[in-house]
Amino acid sequence: MEQALVDITLILDSTVRLAVPLILACLAGLYSERAGIVDIGLEGKLLAGAFAAAAMSAVTGSAWLGLLAGIGAALLFSGIHGLASINFKGNQTISGVALNFLAAGLTTFLGQSWFHRGGYTPQLSGDQRFNPITLPFANELREVPILGQIYWELISGHNIITYVAFIAVPVTAWVLFRTRFGLRLRAVGENPKAIDTAGISVTLLRYQALIITAVLVGIGGAYLSIAQSAGFNNNMSAGRGYIALAALIFAKWRPGPALLVCLMFGFLDAFQFRIQGQSFPLIGEVPVQAIQALPYILTVILLAGFIGRAVAPKASGIPYTKER
């Protein structure tokens, strides 16, 4: 019984760690899509943020400067996306896909050019990374049955970005549904003409949404390389940006359900790590590649018909042209 509790706690702990970049990317996409901007480029922004954070941290020795660099890279990519989709009225999906290709090639090229490690950055340690934080009384309570183990293993021992990600969920809900800015942001995603008629700049609101998107996804990218891992490696976002978009659709563009969906994907990811190499009745040992594909297979199944009708903001993906 005690061993089973330990195993469950470890899986849930891994769930939290693996869900963090999904939560941040999903919330990032929530802001942009609520403002009427389809952001397929979340994957590229995650990757760019991860590389910039690891590179800056490796050069300066500071994880905080790495975090700022990750946010800066995401802001640059968001600026390009905004210029293409807001100012030039381009196709938002094509712009996002182009950013994903750009990030994949640019991070590998710069990594090889700067560090000569095949696209990898040097291994990070010490102050170059965000290290786990031990919460008050965690050491004293770790021997307490059940509750102590949960507090020690599941709640304590995470880095600061993990706690920021979970705090960002209620903050996002409050901003979007309890503030004037959130009301305007949602309105510009539903009826930008009405917002424009009221004398509010549609362009400004959408750029503000993209800035918030960049900050969140940049933090998510930094988490991948200088918190969860100890450096950058090629394509380390591994489709998380796309999964975050799927989670956003599954949650129907609401912060609370988005958190639950991201935790579900995190659990599946953690579970597939635990069952790799295990033998199953009748079928024996399943290839590792098939186990690793489980979260992605579930994404396809859920989007294929298990989520009901998910209606995006009415103006999502539609460039706004001001009438003269």
According to DSSP, the residues that pair with 285 across neighbouring strands are 279
Phi, psi dihedrals of residue 133, rounded to the nearest 5° = -110, 130
Q: What is the mean pLDDT of residues 92-102?
A: 93
pLDDT in tens, 152-169: 878 888 999 999 999 999
Distances (CA, A) of 192 to 81, 189, 262, 323: 19, 6, 30, 11
pTM of the model: 0.92
pLDDT above 70 (res 277): no
pLDDT above 70 (res 248): yes
Where do the domains of the chain lie, and which CATH numbers do they carry? Answer: 2-130+137-303 (1.10.3470)
Question: How would residue 25 be classed by pLDDT, with cut points 50, 70 and 90?
Answer: very high
Question: How would residue 62 be classed by pLDDT, with cut points 50, 70 and 90?
Answer: very high
Query: How many CB atoms neighbour CB 63 within 10 A?
Result: 25
* Pair type for strands 284-285 and 279-280: antiparallel
Average pLDDT, the chain: 87
pLDDT above 80 (res 291): no
Residue for token pair 């950058």:
232
Question: How would residue 319 be classed by pLDDT, with cut points 50, 70 and 90?
Answer: confident
Rounded to an integer, what distance in angstroms lies between the CA atom of residue 321 and that of residue 324? 9
Lowest mean pLDDT among 143-152, 251-260, 264-273: 143-152
Question: Radius of gyration of the chain from Cα atoms?
Answer: 21
Half-sphere exposure of 289 (CA within 13 A, CB side): 0
pLDDT above 90 (res 292): no
Q: What is the mean pLDDT of residues 259-264?
A: 91
